[in-house]
Amino acid sequence: GENVEQHPSTLSVQEGDSAVIKCTYSDSASNYFPWYKQELGKRPQLIIDIRSNVGEKKDQRIAVTLNKTAKHFSLHITETQPEDSAVYFCAASSSGGSYIPTFGRGTSLIVHP
């Protein structure tokens, strides 16, 4: 089955800096890669996603890049703000199967004011 590795587990940055979280996946059939943000005690919320026919996608301060050959994808947050502090999860799934995403173990992002 699919295996998703996520790094780093904790990321501490100063407000205004950029943050990058990286994930690798093992199943070449995976073609959908969502990123979720989860604040303490709350639901995971989809912040951005990318499909395998696209190499990069941006939404304001957030961007995701995908390298299918290397089987890795990354989340980039620019101009970080304290409210970006949360746990971020990457996931990979295949539309050829039952769409069950395999999640990374999460990255705790701390943005210091």
Residue 101 as a binder of other proteins (CB under 8 A): the answer is yes
Asked if residue 49 binds other proteins (CB under 8 A), the reply is yes
Pick the piece of the chain touching other proteins (CB under 8 A) from 19-27, 60-68, 75-83, 95-103: 95-103
The span from the CA of 88 to the CA of 79, in Å, is 17
**Any contact of residue 81 with other proteins (CB under 8 A)?**
no
Which of 23, 24, 77, 106 touches other proteins (CB under 8 A)?
Answer: 106
Q: What is the largest CA-CA distance in the chain?
A: 44
